[in-house]
A and B are shown apart, each in its own frame.
Chain A
C-alpha cells in the first residue's frame, strides 16, 4: 500500500509543477501601482517612492525565473501572500498607520468551514441518495421503480444547481417559512441553526453527484449481478444482503467511485455560485469577490487550494481502487 501511495505522489510532481507555472503566470499581470495603492491606503498616498519600494518588496524588479522561484518557495511554506483588496490598517511602531493586505491563507482558513459545511451536506446527500437509487435500479432493472429512477437521474444530471436552490428557496422559504433562505451560522450556535442554513445549498450542489453516482452504480451493478461469481455466491447459500454487500457492491464500486471523484470537483464549482446566491461567505464567495476586484494573489491562493483538494480527492479514490481491486495492487 505504501508503495502505491509513493508512486502516485511521484507522478503528481510534474503535474503540480505545470500547475504552479500556470498559477504564477496569473501574477505576471500584477500591477505594482495597484498593490502600492493598497499598501499606502489609497491612490492619493501612493508616491513614486512608495511604489518603488513596493516593487522591490514584491520582487517585481527581479527577472521572471527568480520571481517564480521566490513565489514557489513561499507557496511551499504555505505563505500564499497578501490580498490586494480590503486592506486593514496597522499601527507601525513609529506611530504611523500603514495599510497591510489580509493574509490569503488566513482568509481561506476563515472561509473554509462554511464551504466545508455545504460540501459535506452535498456529499452526504449525493452518496446516500445516489447509492440508494443506484441499488434500486441495479438490482431490479426494468422495474417500475427503476424506470422512475432512470427518469430522476436523467433530470438530476441536467438540473442546474443554481436553479434548484432557487426552486428550493421558493418551496421552503418563500411559500412556507420552514428554512432560512440566506446566511450562515456556525455549528456553535446550535445544530439546527447551522444545518437549516446549509441544508438547501448542500442539497442543490449534491443532486448532480447523486444522479451521476446512481446512474453509474446501476450500470455497474447490472453487469456485476450477471457475473459468474455472483452465481457462485448464491450457490453457496448466501442471502441477498450478503451477496449484494459482500460480493456485488465491492466489485461494482469502481465506476461510481471514479465519477464521484469528478463530481466532487463539480460540487465545489457548484458552491461558488450557490454561496454567492445565498450570501454565505465561504470559499466560493471569496473567489467571486477576488475575481470581481482582480485580486490576483487571492485568486492564486484559491485556485491552488481547489487544485490541491481535487488532487487529494483523486488520490484517495486511487487508493480506494487498489483496496477494491487486488489486481491493481499487485501490478
Chain B
C-alpha cells in the first residue's frame, strides 16, 4: 500500500464508529463463510415437538413456528446477506464506473444521453425497479438483485463522472493526452485512482441499501433466495404468527437493522476519514502575518488633515479591564487581556493590529456577539452611558444592539443575508426598534439607501445582496447600521475587502455621516493608512493586549512602542519607492503560545533579555500610553536617523 493509503487507513481506524461498523460487517462475513461449522443445526431441520419455543440450551435463540432452530437460520441467513451485498455492489460498479468514466472523459453527446438515461432510471423508486425486473423474469432472485443494482447506478455513475471531470481538467492528464497515451490507460491508471475514495464510501452505504432492499423483496415473497433462510423471509414468516410469538419477529429484524447500521457507520466513517464531507469544517483560522492593504500609501502625508477635538469629557463608552478567554482543545486561553479604553462623544477611535491581535474579539465582545462557547468574557466592564453592558440580560441587550450601538462588518457579501431583499433587511432593523408599520419601515429603508448614495434606491431596495457591487453592498450595510440612528458605530474592517478607490469613497461617506448623525465610531482595522485619514485616537493591539494608545499625530510622529514603530515602517510609502518593502519578521503568536514577558519581544529589534523576564505593564510616556520597557531606547534609535527606522537595518 502506498503511504497515503496507509495514513487514510489509520485515520479510519481512529474513528470508533467506523471500526464498529467494519467489525460487525466482518463478523457477518465470518458467519457466512463458516456457516456450516458454526450453525448448531441444519437450518431446515424440523424439531417437530419444539415449535415456537423460547430461548433454551438446545436452541439458544429458540425455534420458529415450524420448529426450526432460529440461530442456525440466522447464521445461514448471513450467507444470503453477504451474497446480496457483493452481487449488487459488484454489478452496480460494473455498470456505473464505465458509464461515469466515459461520460465524464469523452463528454459531448454521449454525456448528455448517458446522464438523461441516469435521470430516467433515477425517477423510478428503487424497490419498484427491483420489482419490475423480478416480475419481468418469472420472479427471479437474480433479476430482482439486478433491479436493485440498476437503481444504484445513477448516483454511483454521477459520482464517478464528477470525479472524472475534475481530474480531466488537471494538467497532467492533458499532458498524457498530448503525448498520445491511449485513453483506456489514462482512465485506469490516472482517473480511477482519484475517483476511488468516493466510490468506496458510496459502495459501503450501498451494502446496507442492498441488504435492506433484498429483505423487502423476501418479505414480499418476490425473488425469494434459493434455500430461503434469508433474514427477510424469516421476518415475514414470523410476522404471520406475531400474536403468538413476538421473539421471532425481533431477532431477524435486528439482524437486518444491525447489518444496515454497520454499513452506514462504516460509510460515514470513511467519508469523514477521506475528508469528503465539506459540511462541518470548524477549527482555528489560519493566522497570517502582517498584511497591510495597499491603501497604506496615503499614510503620513495626509495625517494633518483633521483635528476635531472631542468636546464632551464624560466618555460614551468606557471599557475597563476586559478579559476574554477562548476554549481550545488544549484548554482555556486569554485571547483579549485586560483591555481598557474610552470612547468619547463624537470621537473616532482606531483599533489597530495584525490578524490575531484580538481587535475583532474586543469589538464583538462590546456587543456581546461572541459565540459562547468557545468564547467567554472572564472579567471587566463595558460601561455604556454609565451602564455595564456585560451585566445586562440578553433581552435588555437586544434593545441596545442596533438602536444604541450598531455594527458594520468586513465582508458585506457574507454579512448580508443572501436570501433577503436589501430593503427588507434594513426595514427589519427599523421595525425591531421602532414601533412603525411595515410600509413606514420600508420607506425609511429606501431613505437610508438613498442617503448612503445608492442610485435608484426605491428599486434597489428590492434587490438581493448579490445584485449589488462590493462598494454598494458596504453602503447598504452602513444604511442598515444607521437606520435607527445609533450613538456608537463599531466598524470592523469595513474597507478591507474593497478596492482602493471604493475604500476612499466609503471612508468619505463615513466621515460625512459621522457629522450628520453625531456618531462616535470604533474603527477596527489593520491598515494604518486608513487610521491616519479617519481616526482621532488609536489603540494598537498585539497578541490580545493593548501595547500603545495615543493621539493619531503623536503615534505617527513619535511611536512609543516598537510594535507601533514596526507597523509604521512596514507601511508602503510613495516617497521611498526604491526601498524594499519592510516587513516584521515572524508572525503573531497563536493564543496558545503567547511568549512570556513582553509578547512582542521575539519579533522586536530592540529586545533585550529583560523583555522576556516578566509581564510588562502600560505606562504613560508623554501623551501616550505604552507597554514597553525600552521606550527610551526606541526614542534614541529613532532620533539617530530615518534609515534606522526599519526593522531590517539594510537601508542604502
Contact = CB atoms under 8 A, between A and B. Distances in A.
Contacts of A247: 417, 420
Contacts of B222: 288, 291-292
B123 A310 contact: yes
A219 B264 CA distance: 17
A187 interface: no
Tell me which of B117, B220, B282, B411 has the highest count of chain A C-beta atoms within 10 A of its own C-beta. B220
Given A169-B242, A228-B411, A272 B128 contact: yes
Interface string B415-454: 1111110000000110011000000000000000000000
Interface string B243-257: 100100110011011
A163 B116 CA distance: 35
Tell me which of A174, A291, A311, A327 has the highest count of chain B C-beta atoms within 10 A of its own C-beta. A291
A268 B117 CA distance: 22
B279 A223 contact: yes
A268 B126 CA distance: 10
Contacts of B566: none
A237 B398 contact: yes
A237 B280 contact: no
A236 B132 contact: no
B124 A326 contact: no
Interface residues of B, number: 75
Tell me which of A155, A162, A303 has the highest count of chain B C-beta atoms within 10 A of its own C-beta. A162
Interface in A6-42: 14-16, 18-19, 22, 26, 29
B385 interface: no
Contact of A167 (B249, B398, B402): B249
B386 to A, nearest CB: 20
Interface residues of A, number: 70
B383 interface: no
Contacts of A307: 123-124
B212 interface: yes
A290 B135 contact: yes
B116 A269 contact: no
A273 B127 contact: yes
A58 interface: no
Contact of A158 (B261, B398, B467): B261
B239 interface: yes
Interface in B268-303: 279-280, 282
Nearest to A288: B220
B24 to A, nearest CB: 11
Interface string B126-164: 111001101110110000000000000000000000000
A228 B282 CA distance: 14
Interface string A267-309: 0110011001100000000011011101000010011001100
A26 B215 CA distance: 24
B464 interface: yes
A15 to B, nearest CB: 5
Interface in B79-130: 116-117, 119-121, 123-128
A236 B428 contact: yes
Interface in B226-269: 235, 239, 242-243, 246, 249-250, 253-254, 256-258, 260-261, 264-265
A272 B409 CA distance: 54
Given A166-B235, A229-B417, A15 B123 contact: yes
A273 B467 CA distance: 49
B544 interface: no
B371 interface: yes
A155 B219 CA distance: 21
Contact of A251 (B132, B418, B464): B418
Interface string A49-74: 00000000000000000000000000
Contact of A166 (B139, B216, B242, B417): B242
B116 A162 contact: no
Interface in A214-256: 219-220, 222-223, 226-229, 231-239, 242, 246-247, 250-251
Contacts of B264: 154, 157-158
A271 to B, nearest CB: 10
A170 interface: yes
Contact of B116 (A18, A160, A266): A18
A268 B208 CA distance: 19
Contacts of A15: 116, 119-120, 123
Contacts of B166: none
B371 A160 contact: no
A325 interface: yes
A278 B352 CA distance: 71
Given A166-B249, A170-B249, A237-B429, A303 B418 contact: no
A116 interface: no
Contact of A237 (B119, B260, B419, B433): B433
B401 A235 contact: yes
A159 interface: yes
Contact of B253 (A22, A167, A239, A291): A167
A166 B464 contact: no
Contact of A233 (B135, B243, B417): B417
A226 B371 contact: yes
Given A154-B264, A219-B279, A327 B464 contact: yes
A174 B287 CA distance: 63
B126 A269 contact: yes
Contacts of A269: 125-128, 216
B480 A227 contact: no
Tell me which of B212, B282, B416 has the highest count of chain A C-beta atoms within 10 A of its own C-beta. B212
A324 interface: yes
B257 A159 contact: yes
Nearest to A270: B127
Given A170-B246, A219-B280, A233-B417, A154 B261 contact: yes
Tell me which of A229, A265, A299, A306 has the highest count of chain B C-beta atoms within 10 A of its own C-beta. A229
A324 B420 CA distance: 9
Contact of B243 (A174, A265, A303, A311): A174
26 contacts: A155-B261, A162-B235, A163-B235, A166-B235, A166-B239, A170-B242, A174-B246, A222-B280, A226-B282, A228-B414, A231-B415, A233-B417, A234-B401, A235-B407, A246-B420, A246-B428, A251-B417, A265-B125, A272-B127, A272-B216, A276-B220, A291-B131, A291-B220, A299-B131, A327-B464, A327-B466
The 5 A-B pairs at the shortest CB distance, nearest first, are namely: A163-B253, A158-B261, A18-B120, A237-B402, A269-B127
Given A160-B212, A160-B260, A162-B215, 20 more contacts: A163-B249, A170-B249, A228-B414, A229-B415, A229-B416, A231-B364, A231-B369, A236-B402, A246-B428, A247-B420, A272-B128, A287-B131, A288-B222, A294-B138, A299-B135, A306-B124, A324-B419, A325-B419, A327-B466, A330-B467
